Structure 1
Amino acid sequence: MSPPTAVLVLVLAAGRWLVCAADVGDFSPCLGVFHRAWPPKGLAGTPVCQRYDNQYRFATLYSRRRRSPWFSAYLYSPPEGKRPTTPWKFEPQLAYPGAGGGMVPFPPGPVDQNVVASQAVEHDYINSTFSRGHLNPSLQHRSHQDRCATFTLTNVVPQKEGSNDGPWAALEQAVNRTLGAYCLGPAHVVTGVVPYRSDDRWLGDRRVAVPEYLWSAYCCPRYDGSLPVELRGAFPTHAAVGRNDPNSGEEIVPVDPTAKTPFRGFDVRTMTLGTLEEILEDRLGGAVSVFYEQCSGPE
């Protein structure tokens, strides 16, 4: 069942019309990013419809306790242009109930304490050993506005550079090549995190949770049937899990001992959607479904 339809309320205040929408706490305004308008099931958090330049761009399930997202979901489009230069942003509605929808750039000076308490801020990542790892990457989008929208800390998790600049970046590029060449209709992507089984790891003073693994899966129901042999298992769905801790065990993702030193221990394992969901169920303690009926049926 999909969430109930969002109700938009127009309020005349201070001489202007304000639009109060369910940007936070309800996926209804942005259900179009999900296959068959069906968000993943089995994960608990705060739904955020990520709005930038007066348009919904993607969706995030946010963990207030962890001050980081469980997943971001978006529609893939073949990338054009370079990584944009744009300020990092935050989500006001996580800090102020009833605040206007839409992400906002961080101010040049001190950040309001309500924002600091409710979500990650730029200071959390300064002088840390982690990069800001996009779940929804800027270079899986065509429009400049869609790329700029990904630069919000509600779409970011602490990611080791060996992963972010190495095997995980290679995975994102491989997805670009595969979907760009063979997907004939909408491609839905969901990228998320796997927490440590116990004893959460934190960035800073127990403010932002560090994931042990990252995962990603796509759904493309309509694709070119003339696939090369090596890609016949890549449609309609495909998935992957990447290591974010070089000291983790190898039961989920084995380590390639011949990898270059900066990237050793940050391997990525590709797999079926079913295998990914089994891993998530084992780690999270409950059944997880990423796409409606395993990405079956027309759009």
Structure 2
Amino acid sequence: MDSVIVEMRKGGDTLFTMMKVFGTVVIFLSFNFVKLEVSPNFTKCIDEFFYQKTAPMLKGLVGSTQICQRLGNQYYYATEYDTTNRIPYYSAYTLSFDKCGSRYNGWFVEPQLANQINPSMVQINKANNNIATFGGKQAVDVDYTGSGFDRGHLNPQLYHCETNDSRKSTNTLTNIAPQVRSFNQGIWNKFENTLYNISKKYCNFVGARRYYITGVLPSNSRSISNGRVNVPDHYWTAVCCDSSGANGALRNEGWSAGFVGENVENSSIFIYSIQNFLPTTSTTLFADYKDQNGYTVKNCLFNQHKADNIINEIASTDDRFIKEKTSLFARAVMCAIKLMIWFTLCNTCVTDEDGYVELVFAIITPTFPIETSTNSTITDILLPMSDTTDDSGRTGTA
């Protein structure tokens, strides 16, 4: 697949939003891999927080550092951290259903990113809450003060109620990215609660384990603290209900799904089957699993029919939870094609001085056929391509 990045600027929010959807794919495709070391390849915690003890295979990560998030003598989750943009790429964690206590409001930083020996996260206080002490390769609390953005958790406190320290550990700034306040406290918060309840309902059987990965997609232009900290364009979550450790019929009850929301006001959550959520075939979020009979389960999709039903149930709980049948990559390509068609047919609507357009068009040769129409209307272009049709079937039964 050959790709050249598309960039478009216009004075309207809607077109800018559409190109950020395309940018979602571009970001995944264009990372370059540069490794720094805190816990290289998650060697100290990979057995605990990753399905099949395997970290996601993403297309290279700029300024990437692997962190086994440790508070005291305990590891609580894992984070792939972007030391260039000073936000996490993703955090990987497991979900418990213990009853939560009170919320913790203090904040921590990772001392090893400041060339300090201490392997445990360090609490921020008045003496060390400054860029000089810890801020060379990570955000510190002063970066967020007065920014207008929430400190948005990738791995949320809600999912960690085993102990007080498990909740505290989520409040390290290496697990935080700037999140639009209404998005964080609105639809994303509802999504987190909905996903918790769905997991408790459908992934709480004997032998089940729940593996989550929550990440962000860095933006090209938004930042806080004088450019120090990137404001991501999107938040995403991939869920694996692992039934490989269950017995009998329960071994076929596992499922997986993917979710993405734009980091803006009045956002929606788009819901994908896990195979449609993956932007390219070279990206793997959940490793293959082969059982004792030689059956291979891909992407933690033990039971596709169950996954489809769960996706439909989640989508039914809120009008802004939107099920997508088209893959994330195919949707972005179709958006780009429709935009090119629209600009070809509508030259006069982009010549005003207040809303100029600068285009560097992408040429993408996908590995699958795409159907498009030259009769596309502006409504076709600007509205997301959702589909509520339910597909049933199974892959990789074990």
Q: Normalising by structure 1, what TM-score? A: 0.75
Higher deviation after alignment, 102-111 or 37-46: 102-111
Q: In the alignment, what sits opposite 1:205?
A: 226
Q: In the alignment, what sits opposite 1:160?
A: 180
Q: Which residue of 80, 96, 116 corresponds with 1:61?
A: 80
TM-fit CA distance, 1:287: 3.2
3-state secondary structure, aligned to 2:99? coil
Q: Give yes or no for contact 1:135–1:157 (8 Å, CA) kept in 2.
A: yes
- Judged with a 3 Å threshold, the aligned counterparts in structure 2 of structure 1 residues 67 and 180 are, in CA distance, closer, same or farther, namely same
Q: Alpha-carbon deviation of 1:129?
A: 1.6
Cα offset for 1:48?
Answer: 0.4
Distance in 2 of aligned mates of 1:132 and 1:38:
28
Match of 1:151 in 2: 171
Q: Measured at CA, do residues 35 and 53 of structure 1 come closer, stay the same or move farther in structure 2, by a change above 3 Å?
A: same
Q: Which residue of 2 aligns with 1:269?
A: 270
Q: Tell me if the contact between 1:83 and 1:147 (Cα under 8 Å) persists in the aligned partners.
A: no
1:287 aligned partner:
282
Equivalence for 1:36:
52
Paired AA for residue 76 in structure 1: L
For the residues of structure 1 that align with 2:56 and 2:128, how far apart are their CA atoms?
36
1:72 aligns with 2:84: no
Per the TM alignment, residue 107 of structure 1 is displaced from its structure 2 partner at its CA by: 2.3
Shift in Å, 1:24 = 3.4
Inter-partner Cα distance in structure 1 for 2:258 and 2:274 = 5
TM-score (norm 2): 0.57
Structure 1 stretches of 5 or more lacking a match? Answer: 1-21, 228-233, 247-263
Q: Deviations over 1:184-205 (max 9, x none)?
A: 2110000001223xx3311121
Deviation readout 1:216-271 (Å, 9 max, x if unpaired): 011012289999xxxxxx9510110011024xxxxxxxxxxxxxxxxx2x111111
Task: Tell me, yes or no, if the aligned pair for 1:46 and 1:62 is still in contact at 8 Å.
Answer: yes
SS in 2 for 1:154: helix
Task: Provide the secondary structure at the position in 1 that maps to 2:167.
Answer: helix
Q: Counting helix residues as a fraction of each chain, which structure ranks higher?
A: 2
Runs of 5+ unmatched residues, structure 2: 1-36, 289-298, 303-396
CA distance in structure 2 between the aligned counterparts of 1:138 and 1:235, rounded to whole angstroms: 24
1:192 aligned onto 2:193:
no
Structure 1 position 52, deviation (Å): 0.9
What displacement does 1:70 show? Answer: 0.1
Cα gap change, 1:168/1:235 in structure 2, threshold over 3 Å: closer, same or farther?
farther
Q: Which of 205, 211, 218 is matched with 2:239 structurally?
A: 218
Structure 2 residue 47 is matched with structure 1 residue 46: no
Aligned to 1:108: 126
| Shift in Å, 1:83 | 4.4
Alpha-carbon deviations, 1:101-141, whole Å to 9, x = none?
11010122244614111210000111112100000001012
Once the two structures are TM-superposed, the CA of residue 79 in structure 1 deviates from its matched residue by 4.1
Determine the C-alpha separation between the residues in 2 that align with 1:131 and 1:62. Answer: 19
- For 1:212 and 1:242, the matched residues in 2 are separated by 9
Q: Label 1:107 to 1:25 Cα distance change in 2 as closer, same or farther (>3 A).
A: farther
Runs of 4+ in structure 1 off by over 6 angstroms are: 223-227
For the Cα contact (< 8 Å) 2:257–2:272, is it kept in 1?
yes
Distance 1:27 1:218 in 2: 19
